[in-house]
Amino acid sequence: MAKSRSFFVCQNCGAVAARWQGRCESCGDWNTIVEEGDSPAAARVTRGRAFELEGLTGDERPAARIVTGIGEFDRVTGGGFVPGSVLLLGGEPGIGKSTLLIQACAALARRGARVIYISGEEAVAQVRLRAARLNLADAPVELASATQVEDILATCATGKRAALIVIDSIQTMHTEAAPSAPGTVTQVRASAQALLRYAKTCGSTIILVGHVTKDGQVAGPRVVEHMVDAVLSFEGDAAHHFRMLRASKNRFGATGEIGVFEMTGLGLAEVANPSAIFLAGRDASAPGAAVLAGLEGQRPILIEIQALVAPTSLGTPRRAVVGFDQNRLSMILAVLEAHGGLKLGMHDVYLNVAGGLRADEPAGDLAAAAALVSSLTGAVLPADQAFFGEIGLSGAIRPVIHAGMRLREAAKLGFRQAVLAQAQQINDDDRRAGLTLRPCADVAQLVAAIAQTAPRARRE
């Protein structure tokens, strides 16, 4: 009889190690390696039977997608769920995954589809309370609190085929197919596999919820990512109301789409025009604020970048950012000093992206630089001016992608001028957006332009 041996699995990435280690060699995380049950049976090579290979064209017609009716959700999935597909919805605890899914379930059930919601974390009463609070109690969603995958699949197999099954969350599931303790990577993977097989054979769409923690304590849903058809992530700053749904993988649609929601007292509300919301409450009469004509995925979004540059009282001046990359700020400051003639060494610098958003794309450099110059000099930027462009170490302002989309979004929100790279190609179609273009070759020109055109703020 083969001797059973334990093996060691990284709870973050699923890599198998021969012995215990403090650090996973595959993903580099610390303290994630855990001993798990018996070693998998050695794969026996048997003689297989040959099967037929086929060409790329066939007579399959794509099945109709299942549309929830929540526009921002359907947009991210690429126009609704594909029957038989499995989606993973990741996000930090408390961000609103369960809320989003109970709303999607209710919307779909109200359209007459059979929808099953399995909660492994909350009791039925808790889910009911939330549904009641969201005015969804009348929707014919079938609900259960369960964690045993075999029982869940047996339940789903009785009655009409469900259009959608939600498993909240995959980390709480366990299956008899794997020997390890619940919550381990092996369990998560085996449970996901069983659910996947069910979806493919029965044609139900399954959504798996996966918690992502920063310290990797819970068995990471990363091991599930390569198995599923789509990986959606629900993101947002817990201190703000805005939430963004993004697809980082989608076998049935584009990955650039994002959906924007606002967490209200009545659940998640769709935000059809995010730019208008993110710019609401803007005080355009104070120095230190610039509007970035940005992109989130494939969607243009206007966001305000705020800067505060003030003489420091400390030996080492502070540089703090919220929603912006610290290294990019350091680079922009260095370039403004070296090529823009600004003296920032004795100033504290704070940079903030309004609304709890992140401005991570390089196109945000120009807006950040403009906000910094504006705050330092006290020159107020024109309220109808939007910025986009990348700043290079030489001080040059470089073109960015999708200028046309940015210009059209800015025009839609009433902006009249755009500051952009001199080398940015603008075609006639983009010009029709009607904005006055103010090309800038380098940061020296930007500094000069701000000093020249902007009215100075009155200082007491």
Residue 340 sits at φ, ψ, to 5 deg, of: -110, -5
Nearer to ligand TYD by Cβ, of 244 and 363: the residue is 244
Contacts of 95 (CB under 8 A, 6+ apart): 234, 235, 236, 238, 243
User: Residue numbers of the site for ligand TYD (CB under 6 A)?
Assistant: 91, 93-99, 130, 133-134, 263, 265-267
Looking at this protein, which amino acid is placed at residue 297?
G
Cα–Cα distance measured from residue 380 to residue 374, given in angstroms and rounded to the nearest whole number: 6
Kind of pairing, strands 242-250 and 258-264? Answer: antiparallel
Burial class (CB in 10 A: 0-12, 13-18, 19+), 259: buried
- Nearest distance from residue 121's CB to Mg ion, in Å? 6
- Nearest distance from residue 433's CB to ligand TYD, in Å? 37
- Nearest distance from residue 67's CB to Mg ion, in Å? 24
Cα–Cα distance measured from residue 13 to residue 15, given in angstroms and rounded to the nearest whole number: 6
- Nearest distance from residue 160's CB to ligand TYD, in Å? 27
Nearer to Mg ion by Cβ, of 169 and 352: the residue is 169
Nearer to ligand TYD by Cβ, of 97 and 189: the residue is 97
Contacted by 352, from ligand TYD, Mg ion, none: CB < 5 to 8 Å by type: none
Contacted by 12, from ligand TYD, Mg ion, none: CB < 5 to 8 Å by type: none
Nearer to Mg ion by Cβ, of 77 and 98: the residue is 98
Cα–Cα distance measured from residue 302 to residue 282, given in angstroms and rounded to the nearest whole number: 12
Contacted by 265, from ligand TYD, Mg ion, none: CB < 5 to 8 Å by type: ligand TYD
Is 77 a binding residue for Mg ion by CB under 5 A? The answer is no
- Nearest distance from residue 68's CB to ligand TYD, in Å? 16
Nearer to ligand TYD by Cβ, of 95 and 351: the residue is 95
- Nearest distance from residue 436's CB to ligand TYD, in Å? 42
- Nearest distance from residue 91's CB to ligand TYD, in Å? 5
Contacted by 99, from ligand TYD, Mg ion, none: CB < 5 to 8 Å by type: ligand TYD
Contacted by 69, from ligand TYD, Mg ion, none: CB < 5 to 8 Å by type: none
- Nearest distance from residue 268's CB to ligand TYD, in Å? 8
Residue 100 sits at φ, ψ, to 5 deg, of: -60, -45
Location of structure tokens 């086929």: 54
Contacted by 91, from Mg ion, ligand TYD, none: CB < 5 to 8 Å by type: ligand TYD
Nearer to Mg ion by Cβ, of 90 and 300: the residue is 90
CB distance 389 to 440 below 8 Å? yes
User: What is the sign of the dihedral through the CA atoms of 360, 363, 364 and 365?
Assistant: positive
- Nearest distance from residue 112's CB to ligand TYD, in Å? 25
CB distance 161 to 203 below 8 Å? yes
Nearer to Mg ion by Cβ, of 98 and 147: the residue is 98
- Nearest distance from residue 313's CB to ligand TYD, in Å? 38
Looking at this protein, which amino acid is placed at residue 449?
A
Contacted by 233, from Mg ion, ligand TYD, none: CB < 5 to 8 Å by type: none
Cα–Cα distance measured from residue 392 to residue 313, given in angstroms and rounded to the nearest whole number: 31
Nearer to Mg ion by Cβ, of 98 and 385: the residue is 98
User: Residue with CB nearest Mg ion?
Assistant: 98
Nearer to ligand TYD by Cβ, of 122 and 337: the residue is 122
- Nearest distance from residue 172's CB to Mg ion, in Å? 10
CB distance 355 to 242 below 8 Å? yes
* Total residues at interface with Mg ion (CB under 5 A): 1
Is 204 a binding residue for Mg ion by CB under 5 A? The answer is no
Contacted by 267, from Mg ion, ligand TYD, none: CB < 5 to 8 Å by type: ligand TYD
Q: Which helix (H) or strand (E) holds 97?
A: helix 97-110
Nearer to ligand TYD by Cβ, of 99 and 171: the residue is 99
Cα–Cα distance measured from residue 122 to residue 230, given in angstroms and rounded to the nearest whole number: 25
Span from 3-11, 95-103, 314-322, 335-343 in contact with Mg ion (CB under 5 A): 95-103
In the 3-class helix/strand/coil scheme, how is 380-413 assigned residue by residue?
CCCCCEEECCEECCCCEEECCCCHHHHHHHHHHC
Nearer to ligand TYD by Cβ, of 94 and 434: the residue is 94
Contacted by 96, from Mg ion, ligand TYD, none: CB < 5 to 8 Å by type: ligand TYD
Nearest to 6 by CA among 36, 32, 31: 36
Counting other chains too, the contacts that 187-195 makes at CB distance below 8 Å and 24 or more residues apart are: 187/219, 188/219, 188/221, 188/223, 188/224, 189/14, 189/223, 189/224, 189/227, 191/149, 192/86, 192/223, 192/224, 192/227, 192/228, 193/227, 194/149, 194/150, 194/153, 195/86, 195/149, 195/153, 195/165, 195/167
**Position among 68, 98, 204, 385 found at the interface with Mg ion (CB under 5 A):** 98
Q: What are the structure tokens assigned to 311, written together?
A: 């003489």
- Count the helix, strand and coil residues of the chain and give each as a percent rounded to the nearest 5: 30, 25, 45
Is 11 a binding residue for Mg ion by CB under 5 A? The answer is no
Residues of the shown chain interacting with Mg ion in the complex, contacts defined by CB under 5 A: 98
